[in-house]
Structure formats: structure tokens, C-alpha cells
Structure 1
Amino acid sequence: MTTRTDRPQRADARRNVEAILDAATATLARDPDASVNDIAKAAGVGRVTLYGHFENRGVLVAAVVARAMQDSEVSLRGVDLSGDPAAALVRLIEATWQVTLRYGALVVAAEKSLPAADLAAAHDEPRERVERLLGRGRDAGRFRADLPVSWLVTTMHTVTHAAATSVYAGELAADQGARAIAATMLGLLTPPGEVVPDLDALRAAG
């Protein structure tokens, strides 16, 4: 399904769309169960206006997630992934976590509202970035090679989303999220029989 914003729009309509997306992003970041009424009120528009641009809540959430992913990619493309693959992975996890915190519970809202296939498609570019890094780490002997890269990427994605959900549920402090994800992934990625790298040493090296 698509938004109704694909057709040419007047300037005031474009402003309404941006106001709705801004309000939806902020509202869903605080409360993933926020209603259309909540979002329309925050945007300063009526339900009729909102539905004139987004035919249902799911379409609106999809548009918010798509914009958030585009903004996130601008930040993540600048992460230095050169050098030691393990240290690079820690840098990528920390940068990804900062982006995740920026959008708060929007991650939870996306998981509740979007079909799994749509959610997976939104993460295509981040997945490719992680796949390249893991492949380089395997070639260098830093990461295990006995499990499929696709499974390892899926696990990292799942752990990151689990951390965001735990923060929203009050089970994990926000400033501990990146460390929890990095420690979990380093433990998983270290080749069998090898010593798991010291996380603090990797962070210092980065």
C-alpha cells in the first residue's frame, strides 16, 4: 500500500504531510501505541486531513519508518569500518544504537504495525553493510565461519531490536544498550576456542 502523497501536491498539502510525519515520528517515539487521533492532534490537523494523505495508521507508520531509515543511513554511512573488524563492529553498533535512541519506541511501533517483509525491506542497506563487515572479519579470522553470514546478520538485527524493546519496557538503561549489544555479538562472533575480545579495549582502540 502507498500513501496518497504520490500525486502532485500543493504547497499547503506538502506542509501538512511534513507536519504529520514530524508529529508521528515524535509521538510514536514516545508511545508506540499512539493512535491516529494522538498523531493528528500533535500535528495540528484533523483526522480527515490526516486520512487524506495516509489511508490508515499502518501506511503512516510505514512512511515514518521509511523516512527514519533514510535519515539513519546518512549517519551510518559516515562510520569508519576500516581496520580491525571487531573494533569496527563495535563502532557500528554504537553508532546504530545512537540512531535507535533518536527514534525511541518507533522501533517497537514498526514491529507491531508493519508486515515482516516490509520491515525487512526497510533494513536492506544496513544488512548489506553488516554483511560486508562480517565477511571481512571472517576472512581475517576474527569472526566465526561455521555459521551463515545471513544468520549472524539476522541475529544482530534481532538483538538490537530486543535492546530497544527492553529500554522501552524499563528492563535496560538506554546508556547500556550499545554495550549489551556489542558484548552479545562479540561473544557470538568469536571463533570457537578463541578468547572473546575485551570490549573496553576495542572501544579504546576505536
Structure 2
Amino acid sequence: MTATPTGTSTSDGTAARPRRADALRSIEAIIAAATRLLAVNPDASVNEIAKAAGVGRITLYGHFDSRATLVQEVAQRAIAQTEKELAQVDVDGDPRDALGRLLETTWHLTHRFGALVVAASQELSPEQMRRAHDEPFARARRLLERGRAAGEFRDDVPIDWQIIVIQAILHGASAAVHRGEITADAAPTLVRDTAIAALSG
């Protein structure tokens, strides 16, 4: 019986698994590298991503037929991961404490994915981008409404404006960390305290 080269199939197809395992590892390495690079630079090139993943351009294009396809996959994974982690945040109890927990978790996600949102906006449709933000916005809105009803948050400005302020604080903190103006360890507390102070008025 002749030995079968790695990655080729025998007559019953049982030898194809090593190649599949290698392919899956390559795909995960490419996605991880793309996520890291795009979080810092939304214009990161295919060459930069392939180098960071430890693969060649040909290998990358063997899995993703274009940069746009890769960015779409990375963005969809980031959206799914964001929703999964935010859904696990305890938003019961005191509205200020609940919002504080939500803000800290959101900060970590914002910092992790950073400028990826810019890259995603270039490749995903406006409808896809809107859907990606719908549930996080709705979760924050529900907390703000509960806090306003309890007298914890000011109600003399539109809730939409309060959400915009929260977003600005989150993205501003992430940018400040990248510039070295504050540390990543200090950022969650700064985000939480600054946002709640702005909401309390």
C-alpha cells in the first residue's frame, strides 16, 4: 500500500482530515491577525494581515477571495462576540450600578475591536451596521429609562443624546489609551465614572 501524502485523500476520503485541520488553523490565525490589526488600523493591507498571521498571500486568498470578504467575516465575528458578552452583563438592581457594569464591559469590547468598526463600515451595508448596534443601543436605552424613572439620571435631555455622549466617552478613552495618555487598566473606571457623572447632571 502506497503512503498517502499529507492533505490528500485516499479512496475512502479518510486522509483528508489533516489538511482540513491545517486549513482551520490557518483561517483562525488569519482572522485573529486581521482583528488585531484592523482594531488599530482600519486600512491594514492583506500583506500586513498575512504576515501577522504567519501565512502567505496565496494561503490567505485561498481562504478569503478578497480583503472585503475577510473584513466581513472579522466584523461579523466581532459583532457576535460583542453581543454574547454584553448579554451576560447583570443589568438588574440599582440602575447606576447596572450601567456601570455595562459601561465597563462595553469599554473592554470597544478597546479590543477599536477601529474595526471603521473597517466594517466600509464593507458591511448600512442595514447590517444598524442591526449590529440595535441591541446594544436598546440595552443602554432600557437602563437609562429605568434610571430616569427612578430619578437617578437626568431627564432634561433626549435619551438619544445621552447614548451619543456615552459612545463619545467610550471611543475617546480607547483613543487615549492608544495614544498613551491613560492606561488600559485605568480606562474602565474613568469611563464608568465620567459617563455616570454626565448622566446624573
TM-score under structure 1 length normalisation: 0.72
> Considering only aligned residues, what root-mean-square deviation do their CA atoms show, in Å?
2.7
Instruction: Point out 4+ residue stretches in structure 1 off by more than 6 angstroms.
Output: none
Cα distance change of structure 1 residues 165 and 138 upon mapping to structure 2, 3 Å threshold: same
Instruction: Give the % identical residues.
Output: 44
Task: Pick from 160, 169, 191 the counterpart of residue 181 of structure 1.
Answer: 191
Alignment of 1:26-65 (within 5 A): 26-29=36-39, 32-65=42-75
2:11 equivalent in structure 1: none
Corresponding pairs, count? 179
1:85, 1:137 within 8 Å by CA — same for their partners in 2? yes
Alpha-carbon distance in structure 2 between the residues aligned to 1:148 and 1:14: 50
1:62, 1:110 within 8 Å by CA — same for their partners in 2? no
Q: Are 1:21 and 2:28 matched, yes or no?
A: no
1:110 equivalent in structure 2: 117
2:92 match: secondary structure: coil
1:199 equivalent in structure 2: none
Alpha-carbon distance in structure 1 between the residues aligned to 2:116 and 2:110: 13
Cα distance change of structure 1 residues 23 and 53 upon mapping to structure 2, 3 Å threshold: same
Structure 2 unmatched ranges of 5 or more: 1-18
Cα distance change of structure 1 residues 130 and 175 upon mapping to structure 2, 3 Å threshold: same
2:81 equivalent in structure 1: 71
1:95 equivalent in structure 2: 105
Structure 1 unmatched ranges of 5 or more: 1-9, 192-206
1:138, 1:144 within 8 Å by CA — same for their partners in 2? yes
TM-score under structure 2 length normalisation: 0.74
1:65, 1:110 within 8 Å by CA — same for their partners in 2? yes
Cα distance change of structure 1 residues 165 and 112 upon mapping to structure 2, 3 Å threshold: farther
